Amino acid sequence: MKITNQLIEKHGLKYEEFSSIKKLLNREPNLLELGIFSAMWNEHCSYKSSRIHLKNLPTKGKKVIQGPGENAGVIDIGDNDAIIFKIESHNHPSYLEPYQGAATGVGGILRDVFTMGARPIALLNSIHFGSPDHHKTKNLLNGVVSGIGGYGNSIGIPTVAGETKFNKTYNENILVNAMAVGHANKDKIFYSKAKGLNKSVVYVGSKTGRDGIHGASMASAEFDENSEDKKPTVQVGDPFTEKLLMEACLELMQDNSIISIQDMGAAGLTSSSVEMASKGELGIELDLEKVPCREENMTPYEMMLSESQERMLIILEDGKEKKAKKIFEKWDLDFVVIGKTTDTKKLVLKYNNHIEGEIPISALATSAPLYNRKWDKKKLPKDKVDLGALKKIKIEDALIKILSSANHSNKSWITDQFDQMVMCDTAQKSGSDAAIIRIHGKEKAIAVSVDSSSNYCKAHPLSGGKQIVCENWRNLVAVGAKPIAITNCLNFGNPEEPKIMGEFAECLLGIKESCEFLSYPVVSGNVSFYNGTNKKNISPTPVIGGVGLISNLKKPMNHILKKDSSILIIIGKTFGHLEQSTFLEEVYSITDGQPPEINLKNEKNNGEAVLEIIKKDLVNSVHDISSGGLIVALAEMSIQSDFGLKVYKPKKLTKFIKYLFGEDQGRYVLEIDKEKLKKVEEILKNNNIFYEQIGVTQKDFFEVEDEFKIDIKKLHKINNQWYNNY
């Protein structure tokens, strides 16, 4: 078939890229080869616009066993225990087909984790929808939530934490990011690098169908009015098969049969075989007629580009085939040797002994395009919001407005649809600052949280990038965990626009700065560009997933008030920064101004003091202060407990409203027994940490001095109605 310009465009390649392909091959590619290049060179697989910036992120640390570049990142939590984790986007497919898009997002990220030898122990998600009154939102919300639950519940991995946000910026392009966390023995971690010649390349798992062809290329372009036509590029998930595949792989991993293993994710058989060969600096030869197919008469082109789910590619040690096959047969899964490793450093594709395609591996991997795209810096916005000019609102009314809003309502409508308890190690479920998962059979636990703040990132990407790492770090600290490392999912618009590329570059600089300062390296991640429709880009939305360690879990720390008449203190200074706050957005629909400033030194000191206080068992509950400020944090502590509280009016600050709703960073609220207060103050004073007493807990009522008093049952009701009424 003649390769026409139209075909090139259809494969998402630029004409210059096609010229490079011809140069690399010394000839024109055939259709199969063109398809393979398109699968490997698209933004989703090649990271061609982002690589140059990603390489600046800190990825090393004492506890990092494996940083970015593998299926997932690996960290050391002591005693031969390793935690393997990663977050990934499934935005484009979820917008086209919410149930399957979200479900296969969960399936894909789980495979990344168990491919490396880990038993998955937790799932998290970060989902962003358009405005609740947009006509698509309700359907998308329903579909995505049941898709996430449908997959995780069935495979039997608890979905323990997440965030759900609504903002009109996602009206035409929702975000669905899924994170998986697994546990492995440190000496039993499996990698994708191929080793040795003439080793069997084995296909295991589901059969290959015609679903998901060009999925990765679809995800590398923005949407337009014809996007509905792209529905067939969305894969269909089968959690049942994934469960079998997971058990079979983990069973095979008990001994030393596997040289390397790679899941078939985006760009399926193509990317898995190329990645294994590329890392091992080897060639790979596949006999495509052996590929187990679901449908008749599938062509090599379709087999190589299908993104059918629940498949893996394994390179086996000599003489292990029989034993390995027995395991996969036990689990009723296909197990077929479809090729071998070679020394040609080429990908050779045969069909009934006829060579259908032949491409040097380096042309697909290391020679993939790398762009240093033009990017614009964004200045810190100047426009100061004039509070005095705004219509006055009562504190009580503002609080009620926020607590009953889509973004701040209780999310049990969502979390009740996820099995959070299966595996019986979930010591703390969703709804707290971070979830806590015990390491099976041991006393230690990990804490996990996933966070984003697109409003801050939009206002000033550099500050936003810095802030979101800190907020994630703070959430782990608030449950008493020592933060270890993060994974990030970078959701942005069209990188070909300098403004968007600037948002990306500067968010990354911010992330880098915080990660370096907090010794909080990035060990895995994913970039999702082209989030937008018809030239309208989403707000920059980097999502951070963090993992921390609690070395001896005695009682899970959370933000739920425990006692009557205990003292409430706030750690960290309150200046009353209202610009870019939830208060201005929800009450006045104002989204101008600067995001709050980050002081990394204070952030670190405050967090370390909180950790010490928790470790010494001096505190009943802890909550980080984030979106909505102090008063929303306090309301959240009260709503989920049996106790109310009373906040005093501070003597110094002129504007009480700024004090209550300001979103200054690096702050925590702590509930402390009277008799323990002295010891806590000692720690804080010794470390030069700013703190103030702000109130006491009491029975039944949430009260702000001289302002209002409201029954906590009423507050609870206000916070719980949005989803049920939607």
Partner 1 sequence: MNSSVIVFPGSNCDRDIAVALEKMQFKNRMVWHKETALPKSDLIVIPGGFSYGDYLRSGAIAGKSLIITEVIKAANSGCLVLGICNGFQILTETGLLEGALLRNKNLKFINKDVNIKVTNNQTKFSKKYKKDQVLKINIAHNEGNYFTNPEHLKKLNEESLIAFKYCDTKGKVDEENNPNGSLENIAGVYNSKKNILGMMPHPERMVDKMISNKDGINLFSSLLN
Residue 246 CB, nearest approach to partner 1 (Å) = 10
Which amino acids are annotated catalytic?
44, 90
Q: CA dist 585 to 17, 119, 307, 455, 544, Å?
A: 44, 42, 41, 10, 23
* 107, two tokens: 């399936």
Residue 281 CB, nearest approach to partner 1 (Å) = 39
Q: What are the DSSP E strand ranges found in 167-296?
A: 175-185, 200-205, 258-263, 283-287
Q: At what angle do helices 137-155 and 98-114 cross, to 10 degrees?
A: 40
Q: In whole angstroms, what is the distance from residue 456 CA to residue 587 CA?
A: 17
Instruction: Tell me the sheet residues that pair with 603.
Output: none
Radius of gyration of the CA atoms of the chain, in A? 26
Question: DSSP label at 289?
Answer: G
Nearer to partner 1, 154 or 599 (CB): 154
Beta-carbon contacts of residue 579 (< 8 Å; ≥ 6 apart): 384, 385, 459, 592, 593, 594, 595, 596
Q: Which of 147, 330, 323 is nearest to 235 (CA)?
A: 147
Residues that bind partner 1 (CB under 8 A): 146, 149-150, 153-156, 238-241, 243-244, 330-332, 412, 415-427, 438, 553, 555-556
Q: In whole angstroms, what is the distance from residue 82 CA to residue 190 CA?
A: 12
Inter-residue contact 545 to 85 (CB < 8 Å): yes
Q: In whole angstroms, what is the distance from residue 474 CA to residue 480 CA?
A: 10
Residue 519 CB, nearest approach to partner 1 (Å) = 29
Residue 548 CB, nearest approach to partner 1 (Å) = 18
Residues 85-101: b if buried by 16+ CB within 10 A, e if exposed: bbbbbbbbbbbbbbbbb
Nearer to partner 1, 553 or 645 (CB): 553
Residue 648 CB, nearest approach to partner 1 (Å) = 34
Length of the chain: 726
User: Strand, helix or coil at 7?
Assistant: helix
Nearer to partner 1, 555 or 651 (CB): 555
Q: In whole angstroms, what is the distance from residue 533 CA to residue 238 CA?
A: 29
Nearer to partner 1, 332 or 675 (CB): 332
Residue 587 CB, nearest approach to partner 1 (Å) = 32
Q: In whole angstroms, what is the distance from residue 586 CA to residue 628 CA?
A: 9
Nearer to partner 1, 420 or 463 (CB): 420
Residue 4 CB, nearest approach to partner 1 (Å) = 44
Count of CB atoms situated within 10 Å of the CB of 337: 16
Q: In whole angstroms, what is the distance from residue 335 CA to residue 321 CA?
A: 9
What is the side-by-side strand order in the sheet with 334-342?
A: 258-263, 311-316, 200-205, 334-342, 283-287, 346-351, 354-360
Nearer to partner 1, 534 or 552 (CB): 552
Q: Which phi and psi (to 5°) does residue 162 adopt?
A: 170, 180
Q: Which phi and psi (to 5°) does residue 402 adopt?
A: -70, -45
Residue 424 CB, nearest approach to partner 1 (Å) = 5
Nearer to partner 1, 420 or 472 (CB): 420
Q: CA dist 323 to 115, 196, 250, 332, Å?
A: 19, 20, 14, 15
Inter-residue contact 74 to 66 (CB < 8 Å): yes
Nearer to partner 1, 83 or 244 (CB): 244
Residue 418 CB, nearest approach to partner 1 (Å) = 6
Nearer to partner 1, 241 or 697 (CB): 241
Nearer to partner 1, 303 or 436 (CB): 436
Residue 692 CB, nearest approach to partner 1 (Å) = 34
